[in-house]
Amino acid sequence: MELGLAGKTVIVTGGGSNIGRSIVLAFAREGSNIVNAELDEKQGQKVVDEANSLGGQAILVKTDVTDGDSVQAMVKKTLKRFGKIDVLVNNVGGAAGVGLFVEKPKEECEKDVNLNFWSVVNCIRAVAGHMIERRYGKIVNIGSVSGQSGLAGSHVSLYGGAKGAVMSLSKTLAWELGGYGININVVCPGMTLPETLENVGERSVWKKWAWNVYTPELREAAAKSVPLQRLGSAQDIANMVVFLASDCASYVTGQTISVSGGQTMW
């Protein structure tokens, strides 16, 4: 299927590690112009170099998506470099840590909400005016099965709650912005582990704590709980993202799509 993404300008937040990395590389293979809006400059540039070797035109813009001014500056640099923004992928996210809701420090709770919800608000607000003016835009937000059903959410409740808020926001904005030719959808991964820690940066939750939490025994048990009997790969998520970002999905908006091997089926 020809996706028609060659020459499209795509912003991917947090495109340095795991899912974000695969999304950047997937757009590169399509010949897109890509801005990797990443706080980890070293890891982000590594992915940009790889994307450029695959046929894309990628640049790194150091960005703190929880800071509205930083996001606005990134969008200005994108427009200066490529002249337009066709696609925004709000990929940044992750749990600040695991723990019972009543025991989580306030700082961790705020970090979960800022990283997983306010980052999305900041980025959509920064590109919406441009997309409205052009009467064209594709926004793909990365959710989580934890936000859909509370699945595996007993120790990451604020993370799941913030992802649920992203899904609700996406649906209401799909109504609000649909008349301007803007499609907004959510992709919800199930458990999606990096193939190797070489594919993640130092700021990633996988480096900080998650890799050690998901022991081989836990991974095996988790895979058995999935109808397709395997855990997800970052490429599985990227495949859905590039489809939703393309005009092949021009009549799809306001949808939450689970890419979880069947963990959620509604």
Helix %, strand %, coil % for the chain, to 5? Answer: 50, 15, 35
Predicted confidence band of residue 151 (pLDDT cuts 50, 70, 90): low
What is the number of residues in the chain?
A: 266
Tens digits of per-residue pLDDT, 188-232? 998 888 777 777 877 777 767 677 777 888 888 888 888 999 988
Tens digits of per-residue pLDDT, 25-68? 999 999 999 999 999 999 999 999 999 999 999 999 999 999 99
Contacts of 64 (CB under 8 A, 6+ apart): 39, 70, 71
Tens digits of per-residue pLDDT, 174-185? 999 999 999 999
Spatial CA neighbour of 140 closest among 173, 110, 179, 113: 173
Confirm if 72 and 126 have CB atoms less than 8 A apart: yes
* Mean of pLDDT values over 121-125: 98
Q: Which two tokens stand for residue 32?
A: 């897109």
* Mean of pLDDT values over 127-139: 98
Mean of all residue pLDDT scores within the chain: 91
Q: What is the pLDDT of residue 38?
A: 97
Residues with a known catalytic role: 159
Q: Which residue has the higher pLDDT, 23 or 107?
A: 23
Phi then psi dihedrals of residue 35, to 5 deg: -110, 115
The pTM (predicted TM-score) of the whole model is 0.93
Residue with tokens 């095996």: 220
| Domains along the chain with CATH numbers | 9-258 (3.40.50.720)
